[in-house]
Structure 1
Amino acid sequence: MPVPGIESAVVAGWQQDVAGLIDHIRQPGFPRMLAAALGRLVHSDTMLLAVYRDEERPLVLYSENEDEQSPAMQRYLSEAYMLDPVFNAVSRGIRPGVQRLAEIAPDCFEQSDYYRSCYREFNLCDEVDLFIYPEGGTAFTVSIGRGPELGSITRAERQALQAMFPILEALVKQFWLVQSSSYLRGRRAGGPLAHAMETFGCGVLTAREQQIAGLVLRGFSTEAISEELHISTGTVKVHRRNMHARLETSTQSELFARFLDHLGTLTSI
């Protein structure tokens, strides 16, 4: 059966990949085989398979650079993941499927300090993310990134991923059903970052100002915050002005630095 956007030779190869994945459902090498199969559908510079559970640190199942993680990846996994659009999409309950990062990221994402201090280090010009929910409270994600040399992921490639998504979803659900216990054994919640986001500005900011501070840190503009919280842009501007005055900051960079200081006090306790 022809699949839109995919050559027949690729379809035949994909069918062989699916057979191999089924054979490896109970094997530790399943994530690596899945990444290799996806790599034959979509050429990529980076690929990350991760599981998100509640507010825990992401559990990495596969990374193309897993033997020598970059400083940016280490920072992402240790402290910055809660500012990332993928984590926030999962927290908001994004539907299963294939999404471009550009479509789920806040409107000022590229102006955020998280982007400039962490995400930009990955040197990506485009990213597509797959969202699968193998069980309640658990999201399995695949992040496929391309740098400037390969260029943007094409519409045909996204269509190929969308066409294959139901098969991928079924395979991942079966994999997680039989192997999740081995990955989660002895795992603890991922550090103080979630607590830091909840308590940043506590005792100084109002509850609404704390909400807005969190959205600003994630890269939301005044207009996007207005839509998110269902308040006027004028009200958002007043809250932002008051927030900066109370925290003695004037820019997003200073706000981000103040947040990292707050995080540091929690990690030292």
Structure 2
Amino acid sequence: MGIDLEKLFEILAPLINGTPMNDEAVGSTFRRLMSALMTFDYVVVFAYRGKERPLDLYSTFDAKDHVLFVSLYQAGPYLLDPFYHAACAPKPGVWRMRELAPDRFFSSEYYRTYYVRTGLAEEVGFFVTVSEQVTVVLSLMRREATGVFGPAEFALLKKAEPMVAALVRHHWADLDRRFDAALANMGRSRRKAVHPPADGVWQHLNLTEREAAIIELVLQGHSSESIGLKLGISTGTVKVHRRNVYRKLGISSQTQLLSLYIKNLGQ
């Protein structure tokens, strides 16, 4: 697909005067900009701040897919998403999902029971930091029938990153306030929000801090070797902790672990 320069300049023209736009207008502008460069199936834009529930800023899903890609995701699975962890790092720029995923992500239970249901061939994200704590991730998704983004397409996305970052920082500059408002609407203070849903799960299941750290990395798709490197402990020690946690929880598989995790997120 060739670049439609006429369409691209037409889209860019209204942005020059800096008129503030709402979420739908910003998201639609991003979608139109990207569609002038290449084809894709979906767009979704989330804002992340720590482990708080991400803000759904824009998406192009129909009602059925919105439940899977947005509503269900916001309920807790985002905590296991490689894009979420890259946003928290943060890692600004343009990234493929497979560049950010842990070494066992594509064989993890999270991938098999949740992510694979999306039917995606690939997801690429623009990671834009808008404040000290907030990162906006604008995802372009392709289904299996469309195929992955080729090297030339990915290189073009990287060239477009400064333009996308400028768009996001100008029009989504007040996201800290919106996160605070979302917490206020839930009747929770900013101070209490530092205890995220996942932390509550581990406390409810009576895991130690070390056990919780290891099991969370297991669910994210890290191998025992990767966990050992991240935590500075031996692979053997990781395996011992995993066995102890499984015995403590009365489970024998990662399938049961994920089920227990999701079940307890809301408690």
* TM-score, shorter chain, exceeding 0.5: yes
Post-superposition shift, 1:68? 5.0
- Taking the TM superposition and a 5 Å limit, the aligned residue runs for 1:161-180 are 161-177=157-173, 180=175
User: Using the alignment, how far apart are the partners of 1:23 and 1:141 within structure 2?
Assistant: 24
Evaluate the alpha carbon distance shift between residue 66 and residue 188 of structure 1 in structure 2; reply closer, same or farther with a 3 A threshold. farther
Post-superposition shift, 1:188? 2.1
- Taking the TM superposition and a 5 Å limit, the aligned residue runs for 1:247-266 are 247-264=249-266, 266=267
SS in 1 for 2:251: coil
Evaluate the alpha carbon distance shift between residue 120 and residue 59 of structure 1 in structure 2; reply closer, same or farther with a 3 A threshold. same
Which residue of the other structure, out of 224, 244, 247, is the alignment partner of 2:246? 244
Identify the residue that residue 3 of structure 1 maps to in structure 2: none
Evaluate the alpha carbon distance shift between residue 185 and residue 19 of structure 1 in structure 2; reply closer, same or farther with a 3 A threshold. farther
User: Using the alignment, how far apart are the partners of 2:103 and 2:226 within structure 1?
Assistant: 7
Unpaired segments ≥5 residues, structure 1: 1-5
User: Using the alignment, how far apart are the partners of 1:24 and 1:68 within structure 2?
Assistant: 35
Q: Is 2:125–2:139's contact at 8 Å kept on the other side of the alignment? A: yes
User: Using the alignment, how far apart are the partners of 1:210 and 1:33 within structure 2?
Assistant: 41
Structure 1 window deviating more from structure 2 (124-133 vs 19-28): it is 19-28
SS in 2 for 1:204: coil
Structure 1 window deviating more from structure 2 (243-252 vs 14-23): it is 14-23
User: Using the alignment, how far apart are the partners of 2:194 and 2:78 within structure 1?
Assistant: 9
Q: Share of identical aligned residues, percent?
A: 32
User: Using the alignment, how far apart are the partners of 1:13 and 1:99 within structure 2?
Assistant: 25
Post-superposition shift, 1:193? 11
Post-superposition shift, 1:162? 0.8
Task: Give the paired residue count.
Answer: 257
Structure 1 window deviating more from structure 2 (152-161 vs 48-57): it is 48-57
| 2:110 aligned with 1:114 | yes
SS in 1 for 2:51: coil
User: Using the alignment, how far apart are the partners of 1:86 and 1:120 within structure 2?
Assistant: 15
Deviations 1:146-173 (A, max 9, x none): 1111111011111111111112112211
User: Using the alignment, how far apart are the partners of 1:139 and 1:217 within structure 2?
Assistant: 23
Identify the residue that residue 188 of structure 1 maps to in structure 2: 183
Identify the residue that residue 199 of structure 1 maps to in structure 2: 200
Q: Is 2:200–2:265's contact at 8 Å kept on the other side of the alignment? A: no
Deviations 1:68-114 (A, max 9, x none): 544322211222111111111112222x1000000101111122222
| 2:133 aligned with 1:131 | no
Structure 1 window deviating more from structure 2 (204-213 vs 127-136): it is 204-213
Give the aligned residue type for 1:149.
A
User: Using the alignment, how far apart are the partners of 1:42 and 1:193 within structure 2?
Assistant: 40
Q: Is 1:82–1:193's contact at 8 Å kept on the other side of the alignment? A: no
Post-superposition shift, 1:140? 0.9
Q: What is the TM-score with the length of structure 2 in the denominator?
A: 0.86
Which residue of the other structure, out of 66, 87, 90, is the alignment partner of 1:90? 87
| 2:13 aligned with 1:19 | yes
Unpaired segments ≥5 residues, structure 2: none
Structure 1 window deviating more from structure 2 (123-132 vs 41-50): it is 41-50
- Taking the TM superposition and a 5 Å limit, the aligned residue runs for 1:126-165 are 126-165=122-161
Identify the residue that residue 56 of structure 2 maps to in structure 1: 60
Q: What is the TM-score with the length of structure 1 in the denominator?
A: 0.85
Evaluate the alpha carbon distance shift between residue 66 and residue 132 of structure 1 in structure 2; reply closer, same or farther with a 3 A threshold. farther
User: Using the alignment, how far apart are the partners of 1:212 and 1:31 within structure 2?
Assistant: 37
User: Using the alignment, how far apart are the partners of 1:16 and 1:22 within structure 2?
Assistant: 11
User: Using the alignment, how far apart are the partners of 1:122 and 1:21 within structure 2?
Assistant: 33
